[in-house]
Structure 1
């Protein structure tokens, strides 16, 4: 085996730790984007960026928080890029893609996913980081680059919005059209 193909013990440890956060990255990406295909692309790109920047990672620190920040930043870059490239009106697209809800059916995971996608992006991100991914408010605030009080507020508002949306009261929920908090 040539020296180019050998992996150092530090790289092997980094790889193992990176692979350990993969399921969490996938869940976070799917929650952020609402599209499994786009989420897979986000995760793949985040893994590539993490591997490329592995020298900047400090072993023993929080790999999940570090990779979530990479994924989040890439997601935001992709959103900015897609907004510049699209001529499609968001309202029109939403009307084309939304199905009428069956009020008689029980709550399913799909209902939660749909409700999550109706939240303002900052609130959705906050509730995914704290509620679904298990980060502390401090860790989530660091990942999102905001004060801890802002993170707590976003999570509280997102939880309230989700409760209203799942109860069938979208008018009272702070959805994408309202100013995020």
Structure 2
């Protein structure tokens, strides 16, 4: 099978985005790499089904998402750790505040329903349009907008986000500013 250079380039340029999406869906770098590899292999073996003129990235995202959902259905019989109690016992807590904030965000994201999480990540993290996201998720734009709105509201609730205190400089920056502001 001969693949055009433009198709190769489109697939290669999508890999970092696929990987980021897979990590956010699965919560595991190793599992994400497996998902990306599987999606690319499926895409290559079904390249004849790709419709020229449409978004290669959106098509690859759809394949990856469908593969993830299939695997999730299979794993339902496995022991789950939704609270992360087992994972907390084996994890080493990071020393940096930004890393802690990032971990908090990942935990909060993992508590969102998959449909809300994927819509939010495709639009917010990957920068895809609502139209492409709706196509990937197999639904309409209104549903995507609703999912994103609910996901953002739930994240704010889970992270105990207070717009009056949480926007702008963090505690350390504020303390430094106030300390240097006095003569």
Global fold match (TM > 0.5): yes
Indicate the residue corresponding to 1:97 in structure 2.
Answer: 87
Indicate the residue corresponding to 1:152 in structure 2.
Answer: 145
2 CA distance for matches of 1:29 and 1:117?
13
2 CA distance for matches of 1:89 and 1:79?
11
Q: Tell me, which stretches of 5 or more residues in structure 2 are unaligned?
A: 163-183
| 1:78 is the counterpart of 2:78 | no
Q: Tell me, which stretches of 5 or more residues in structure 1 are unaligned?
A: 1-6, 170-181
Indicate the residue corresponding to 2:48 in structure 1.
Answer: 55
Larger radius of gyration: 2
Contact 1:123 1:155 in 2 (8 A): yes
TM-score by length of 1: 0.77
**Bigger relative contact order (CA 8 A; separation at least 6):** 1
| 1:110 is the counterpart of 2:103 | yes
Give the alignment's Cα RMSD to 1 decimal: 2.6
Give CA deviations for 1:58-112 in whole Å, capped at 9, x if unaligned. Answer: 333211110000000000000011114x2x2555x7332247x99xx56632222
**For residues 18 and 39 of structure 1, do their structure 2 counterparts lie closer, same or farther at Cα, with a shift above 3 Å needed?**
same
Give CA deviations for 1:6-45 in whole Å, capped at 9, x if unaligned. Answer: x74x433212210010000000001111111111110000
| 1:17 is the counterpart of 2:5 | no
Superposition deviation, residue 138 in structure 1: 1.7
Superposition deviation, residue 160 in structure 1: 1.0
TM-score by length of 2: 0.76
Give CA deviations for 1:123-160 in whole Å, capped at 9, x if unaligned. Answer: 11110111111111121111111222111110001011
2 CA distance for matches of 1:143 and 1:58?
14
Contact 1:14 1:54 in 2 (8 A): no
Contact 2:108 2:155 in 1 (8 A): yes
Contact 1:140 1:151 in 2 (8 A): yes
Give the paired residue count.
158
